[in-house]
A and B are shown apart, each in its own frame.
Chain A
Amino acid sequence: MRAGLLPESRHTRRRPRFTRGLAVTSVAAAAALILAACGGATGSTTSSSSSSSSSGGGASSEASSGGSSGASTDKPLVYGVFATPLEEPWDGAGDQGMRGAAGAGESVYKRTDNHDSDDEMTRTLTDLLTNQKPDIVFGDAFSSEDAVRAVAKNYPKVQFAFGSGNDPVEPNFSTFDNWLQDPAYLAGMLAGGVTKSNTIGVVAAMPIPEVDRIVNAFIKGVVETNSKATVKVTFINSFFDPTTAKQAALAQVAQGADVLFAERDGVIEAAKEKNLPVIGMMVDQKSQAPKNVMTSLVWNMRPTVEEVLKEFKAGTLHSQNLGQYSYMKNGGSSLAPINTDIPGGIPQALIDKVMAKQKDIMDGTFTTPIDEKPPAGSTTVGQ
């Protein structure tokens, strides 16, 4: 039936209805182009507290108080420009920080996201800098450092503050990041104390400094409470791919892990399925699995935003490394309330130990070591 006998030269198709076919093809092609291109457009300045709009290439929306557009008020216009989708927790934390400041009436805030290439970043930034004239631009430069820095150079009067693994540049390019090594260390202590198989699984994005130092601090925390533990680390090579992260976590469980650290989204789902304790990231993720999430590393970007706004108002803006404003002792990060209602529970003695260490961090007696070397796939801490 599969017509092996039929000759290959076919007459299945007579002359196509050429004009009609061509017209439809052009319409479809044009539609595809428009869809692909609409990412570059930035949103209108209508005032609304809800957010909206997305498409293949990008999204833009206003999510703030402030009434009118930036130009007609003396409040600074703060623009959030994110490389990854807003749904990704790093963006979520940044967005929350800027929204908080806008909600308190300190600024007008707009945002746009999902610009994941150098080219898109450049176009988006240039477009909004030209047309919307923001005073301050926050964003993440990790995946397009050179492009973002090149644009910043062309707009010396605008203050840039970008999440970055590199140094700030005079006169207007500040850097910040989620320096979560302190809560990571504390979470590591918890994980080391809770594990029974002496194996802990970490699913992380990719080996870049901002991720490495969190994972390494976590491992050092494990050492403090468990001298025999093995920490397994999988990088999924993506900032946001929950299904892959989940499968990676399940593979770690297969390799013996009985406590998980969800540096990336998706791991909590694996912990829920296997009924294991898990540590969340960026925000308190307890609501995702109330019987599994024992705590979370929480990033609060508000102090970073406040610092920039303060300097803007004082007229003393300069480029600086804003990293310290994410430190625990400066209120930039914290360990979410510990949830003892997890499989196996958490001994009170362990919680006391963690709390004592937290106090040491807060009063400066203990400084979490910063190590930005990529961790191995499997580290046995005693060795």
Chain B
Amino acid sequence: MTIAYLALLTAMLTTATPLVLAALGEVITERAGILNLGIEGTMYAGAFTGFLGAELFGSAWWGLLIAIVAGTLAGLLMAVLTVTLGVNQHVAGIGTTLLLIAACDFTSRLKYGGGTLPQIPKFGQLFADVPVASQFLLTYLTFLVIVPAAWYALRATGMGLKLGAVGENPEAADAAGISVARVRYAALAIGGALMAMGGAFLSLAMLGSFTLNITNGRGWVAIALVIFARWRVWPAVAGGLLFAAVDALQLQLVVTPEFAAVPREVMIALPYLVVIIALAVSGRNLRYPGAYLQSYRRT
């Protein structure tokens, strides 16, 4: 049996990029005490608005910028619902996901009438012929800039401390002069922007177009990764890489004669099984952020 290991690593980094971006966004919002189940819809909206932006303005960069704006707005919508109005976070999140997916599909139908969607200018690959290094710029940005910056910001800056304080004990944070609402709004906005970037990666880098159901549950995988990572940045990255590696591995194994006896359904389920097992193993004695799922109001 021959596995092309370099191709496996290449595929792992590509597949992991949207998962890592989305999981990172979710880490930030959940650290502030908000479970953002709008993640799947926000990724979807990022994929669609990124596609629209690239088509309208003729550049993938514009697409990315518009996706970031859309993601920020999606985050702010969640903030209005959960922070200002104090709506149940599960309901607000699922409602946001349903709303955003439906709105994108609707707009897509209005504009394109249900046919095959056009090809858009997409991001090219850097180092196209070098194994492993041949990745999209967004992948480099994600792993070399965004993740370390987020890790540092959460760990060692005043902003990060405020975020943690608001997520653990909003009353104490409030007493210390931190505006709970403002911090949560900021966390949701930044988190939404990252999720939308993850979605935009699918349309602007991987496909160069948009298709219905493009995110295909990746947002939910990211939610699982965040719990697996216990709200920490690097373990979330590791989880994303693990999922992507197993996915890349099964795609190669399924076409090798040696694995012909393994039912392909098992192969397809493999990455999900790995995540479930990882969750079951690491998910014991989870300590959620102190103010998880709780809205805060002065009384």
Interface residues of A (CB under 8 A from B): 1-3, 6, 10-17, 20-21, 24-25, 28-29, 31-32, 35-36, 50-56, 59, 61, 63, 85-87, 89, 92, 95, 113-114, 201, 207, 232-238, 240-244, 246-248, 250-255, 265-266, 269, 273, 283, 288, 376-378, 380
- Chain B stretch 181-228: residues in CB contact (< 8 A) with chain A: 202, 206-209, 211-214, 216
Chain A residues within an 8 Å CB radius of B76: none
Identify which of B4, B95, B208, B260 gathers the most chain A CB atoms within 10 Å of its CB: B95
A10 and B11 form a contact (CB under 8 A): no
5 A-B pairs with C-beta separation under 8 A: A10-B290, A13-B295, A21-B87, A54-B109, A55-B105
Flag if B95 contacts A32 (CB, 8 Å).
yes
B242 to chain A, nearest CB (A): 16
Report B-chain residues with C-beta under 8 Å of the C-beta of A61.
109, 114
- A374 CB → nearest B CB, Å: 9
Query: Beyond A12-B170, A87-B117, A266-B207, is A255–B15 a contact (Cβ under 8 Å)?
Result: no
The complex places the Cα of A16 from the Cα of B88 at a distance, in Å, of: 11
Q: Are B11 and A247 in contact (CB under 8 A)?
A: yes
Most buried by B among A12, A207, A242: A12
CB-nearest residue of chain A relative to B2?
A: A255
Residue of A16, A87, A283 near B295 (CB, 8 A) is A16
Q: Is the CB of A1 within 8 A of B110?
A: no
Contact of A24 among B87, B114, B170, B171 (CB under 8 A): B87
How far, in angstroms, from A36 to B95 measured CA to CA in the complex?
A: 10
Q: A237-B264, A243-B206 are in contact. List 13 more A-B contacts (CB 8 A).
A: A10-B291, A12-B170, A32-B94, A51-B114, A89-B116, A95-B114, A201-B255, A232-B255, A234-B255, A235-B264, A243-B207, A247-B11, A377-B264
Q: How far is the CB of A366 from chain B (nearest CB, A)?
A: 30
Query: When the two chains form the complex, which single residue of B94, B119, B216 contacts A244, counting CB atoms closer than 8 Å?
Result: B216
- Please tell me if B177 contacts chain A, counting CB pairs below 8 Å: no
CA distance A112 to B229 in the complex (A): 42
Whether A254 contacts B91 by the Cβ 8 Å rule is no
Chain B stretch 240-292: residues in CB contact (< 8 A) with chain A:
247-248, 251-252, 254-257, 259-260, 264-265, 268, 290-291
B interface residue numbers (CB < 8 A to A): 2, 4, 7-8, 11, 14-15, 81, 85-88, 91-92, 94-95, 98-99, 101-102, 105-106, 108-110, 113-117, 119, 125, 161, 164-165, 168-172, 202, 206-209, 211-214, 216, 247-248, 251-252, 254-257, 259-260, 264-265, 268, 290-291, 294-297, 299
Tell me which residues across on chain A come within 8 A of B115, comparing CB atoms: 86-87, 92
A315 to chain B, nearest CB (A): 33
Whole-angstrom distance between the alpha carbons of A239 and B248 in the complex? 20
Cα(A253)–Cα(B10), bound, Å: 12
Q: B168–A247 contact, CB under 8 A?
A: no
Knowing A17-B86, A28-B87, A237-B268, say if A56 contacts B290 (CB, 8 Å). no
